[in-house]
Amino acid sequence: MDFAWLVFLFPALGALINLFAGARLGERGIHSVASGAVALSFLVSVGMFFGLSGLDEHHRAVTVHLWDWISVGSFHAPAAMLIDPLSVTMALAVTGVGALIHIYAGGYMHGEQNYQRFFVYLNFFILAMLVLVLSDNFVGMFVGWEGVGLASYLLIGFYFDRYDESYGHYADAGKKAFLVNRIGDFGMMVAVFLIWTGVGSVVFEEVFAGAGALSTGAATAVCLLLLLAATGKSAQLPLFVWLPDAMAGPTPVSALIHAATMVTAGIYMIARTYVLWGLAPLAGDVAAWVGALTALLAASIALTQVDLKKILAYSTISQLGFMMLGVGVGAYAFAIFHLVTHAFFKALLFLAAGNVMHGLPGGELDIRKMGNLRAKMPTTHKLFLIGAAALAGLPLLSGFFSKDGILLHASNHNILLYLIGLFTALLTAFYSFRAVFMTFWGEARDEHVHEHAHESPAVMTAPLWVLAVLALVGGALNLPFLLTMEHYLEAAVGKPAFHAAVPLELVLLAVSAVVALAGAGLAYGRYVQGAKDETGAPRGAGWAAGITGVFRPLEQGAANKWYVDEVYAALIVNPLLGLARWFDRVVDEGVVDGAVNLVGHVSLAMGGALRKVHNGLVPTYALSLFVGVAVLLLYLVFGL
């Protein structure tokens, strides 16, 4: 494993070469350097995988010490890599999907003004993400955590000069993402402090070995703080609001960072710290409920969105909710399994959506203006359909097995969680196929859009075929009763406490299959069959319209994202800004205004300054000082 550090070297070199020499390399050169760097990183990850597989099953955890990073008093944090089944799985997903998306991005970003900057950021992101998943201690993980946050911020705001109705100012979307994430980071940092005081180390192995020293209360506090961090990064309730806006970034970024990799960091982090969660059952319950409710809420919003990327964004939030539900009920291996299959099919969906956007005039994303695009983009249609089918969990596709594993464990934990999950799965199948049918089927609803639509070049479809194959057969990583991946991960995330009886497992598999097909069928009935209204939008067959009509009263709420942004603005953002404004008015404004008036007195500089001294400001300051003295004296001397 001595070569493991190379995994960091390649993306770091890629970013540096493109930063300093990119201008001379030209588009092709930049693209080759960036994609090549990630591909090489992927090869190193493959090497790590085989190196690890060569080891005895129970000793599959290798620490590669790079250098002594911090050593202050009794506090040590090495710069070291922990290579175990969990981190290798993540590294493979990050670099594998990452490499494909890098290749795709070369076509997608062709001719963009800031081509060079884009790939510098993208390689930097891969580096930070690898630091996050491969660090062997909390501080190193936090460095990666902040690094991916920064990369995400820079990439969401990539089109900083744009503005439209769907996203507002694009630059604001980046800021929102960063700030919301800072709330989560706060939880992370405090959790690390608590762990350090409680256990006396921040190195994963030592923390987990000494975790017994934590009381249940302390472990619960730590886990809830970690959960706060995860809700920020993985876009869960209550901090999910940044992710839909993050779609303002270029589509490859949405695919890589805001679907396949970065947003799953919270899930990874919880799986990584599973030992602590074992000590805090309450925190696990909270995580499970947060996950289930997020999955439901986001899926319901996805039903009503008309922006193709936003549908996928809410779908991502919903799927992350499934994963959170999985880690919450202790099905760590299944959560990671779902994380991996989700990376395949969601990256596929986003990139296919990117092709749609690329192929339509003005980068159109409104599905109400699409329809019958399969005539113009047959390849993209097939790719999107495969992704949607995997997302919907149609039987035997990758999403089917991974989602089912989570639901199985949820059913054992609390039947209510299972029912929420199952209902969400129905919604998932419905909105997935709604997106397919509205976009690619039916009649063209906007002639102008349809006429100019064209298929994308091979560089933008070839990588998608790889993802499509993975989305189709990715379930084979962990077939029921064969359980290869689950078993592989057990060395890193422990065995689940629960093993379902075979009949129960079969029954639940069958139920899931029926639900997925029902959702897809309902979407078919609603969006393909039946009459059309005057704009060409389908009215739906009688039966399907009848079923979906039941939920009509809720539609307004869902379409407005349940007013979450508005509530946050009213409860948190505005009061905080109000407070800032108040400080500003009371403390600052008088001074600024005064100073501006003063500029008129240049000729009488000294006199002006003295007048200033007499016009009330210095006495005000002195008064504030004096009040401070009085309060301190009262407190210290008279004990008030």
Partner 1 sequence: MDTALLFENATVLLPEIVLAVGVMVLMMVDIGLRKQNESGTLAALAIAILVLGMGASLLIWGRPPAEYLGGAVSDGFALSVRLVVLIAGIFGVLLSRNFLPSIERQGGAFYSLLILAVIGMMLMGTATNLIVLFIALEIFSLALYILSGFHRENPRSIEAAMKYFLLGAFASTFFVYGAALLYGAGGSTSYVQIHETLSSGGGNRSLVLPGIALLLVGFGFKVSLVPFHMWTPDVYQGAPTPVTAFMSVGTKAAAFAGFLRVMMVALPSLYEQWAAPLAILAVLTMTVGNLTALRQSSVKRMLAYSSVAHAGTILIALVAATPAATSAAAFYLFAYAFMNIGAFGVVIVLEGRGEGDVEQDRFNGLGTRYPSLAVAMAVFMLSLSGIPPLAGFFGKFLIFKAAVEADLAWLAVIGVLNSAISAYYYLRVVAAMFFREAEGEITCNCGPAINFSLAVTTIAVVVIGLQPGLWADLLRGL
Residue 200, sorted as left (phi over 0), alpha (psi -120 to 50) or beta, turns out to be left
- Check residue 593 for interaction with partner 1 (CB under 8 A): no
Stretch that binds partner 1, among 32-40, 81-89, 188-196, 461-469 (CB under 8 A): 188-196
Contact residue for partner 1 among 75, 498, 551, 563 (CB under 8 A): 75
How many amino acids of this chain bind partner 1 (CB under 8 A)?
Answer: 70
Q: Which residue has the tokens 């609603």?
A: 526
**Closer CB to partner 1, 190 or 528, in the complex:** 190
Question: Which ranges of 81-169 would DSSP assign to H, the alpha helix?
Answer: 85-108, 115-134, 138-156
- Check residue 175 for interaction with partner 1 (CB under 8 A): yes
Stretch that binds partner 1, among 24-32, 189-197, 423-431, 460-468 (CB under 8 A): 189-197
Contact residue for partner 1 among 142, 332, 337, 401 (CB under 8 A): 142
- Check residue 632 for interaction with partner 1 (CB under 8 A): yes
Partnered with residue 80 across adjacent β-strands are: 65
355 closest CA partner among 464, 245, 243:
464
**Closer CB to partner 1, 146 or 404, in the complex:** 146
Which residues, in sequence order, are CB contacts of 545 under 8 Å at separation 6+?
Answer: 525, 526, 530, 539
> Least CB distance from residue 160 to partner 1, whole Å?
3
CA distance 287 to 403: 17
- Check residue 617 for interaction with partner 1 (CB under 8 A): yes
Task: Give Cα 147 to chain centroid, integer Å.
Answer: 14
Contact residue for partner 1 among 50, 59, 179, 454 (CB under 8 A): 179
Stretch that binds partner 1, among 315-323, 339-347, 496-504, 618-626 (CB under 8 A): 618-626
- Check residue 162 for interaction with partner 1 (CB under 8 A): no
Contact residue for partner 1 among 1, 12, 171, 275 (CB under 8 A): 171
CA distance 599 to 597: 6
Which residues, in sequence order, are CB contacts of 382 under 8 Å at separation 6+?
Answer: 468
3-state secondary structure of 63: strand
> Least CB distance from residue 438 to partner 1, whole Å?
33
- Check residue 64 for interaction with partner 1 (CB under 8 A): no
Print the binding letters for residues 360-399 with partner 1: x by CB under 8 A, - otherwise.
----------------------------------------
- Check residue 163 for interaction with partner 1 (CB under 8 A): no
3-state secondary structure of 81: strand
- Check residue 443 for interaction with partner 1 (CB under 8 A): no
86 closest CA partner among 265, 263, 333:
333
> Least CB distance from residue 604 to partner 1, whole Å?
8
> Least CB distance from residue 212 to partner 1, whole Å?
20
Stretch that binds partner 1, among 33-41, 235-243, 431-439, 609-617 (CB under 8 A): 609-617
Q: Which DSSP letter does residue 478 get?
A: G
End-to-end CA distance of the chain: 64
Stretch that binds partner 1, among 205-213, 313-321, 438-446, 623-631 (CB under 8 A): 623-631
CA distance 480 to 502: 10
325 closest CA partner among 296, 304, 300, 352:
296
170 closest CA partner among 116, 95, 247, 272:
247
> Least CB distance from residue 213 to partner 1, whole Å?
15
3-state secondary structure of 540: coil
Stretch that binds partner 1, among 178-186, 273-281, 317-325, 467-475 (CB under 8 A): 178-186
Q: Which amino acid is at 437?
A: F
HSE value, Cβ hemisphere, 13 Å, CA-based, for 350: 32
**Closer CB to partner 1, 232 or 266, in the complex:** 232
Stretch that binds partner 1, among 62-70, 276-284, 369-377, 527-535 (CB under 8 A): 62-70
Helix, strand, coil content of the chain in percent (nearest 5): 80, 5, 20
Q: Are 598 and 612 in contact (CB under 8 A)?
A: yes
Neighbours of 167 (CB within 10 A): 22
Contact residue for partner 1 among 5, 49, 69, 465 (CB under 8 A): 69
CA distance 490 to 468: 27
Peptide bond into 238 cis (omega under 30): yes
- Check residue 618 for interaction with partner 1 (CB under 8 A): yes
**Closer CB to partner 1, 448 or 581, in the complex:** 581
> Least CB distance from residue 87 to partner 1, whole Å?
19
- Check residue 5 for interaction with partner 1 (CB under 8 A): no
Point out which residues bind partner 1 (CB under 8 A): 68-73, 75, 139, 142-143, 146, 150, 153-154, 157, 160-161, 171, 174-175, 178-179, 182-183, 185-186, 189-190, 193-194, 196-197, 576-577, 579-581, 583-584, 587-588, 591-592, 595, 598-599, 601-602, 605-606, 608-610, 612-613, 617-618, 620-622, 624-625, 627-629, 632-633, 635-637
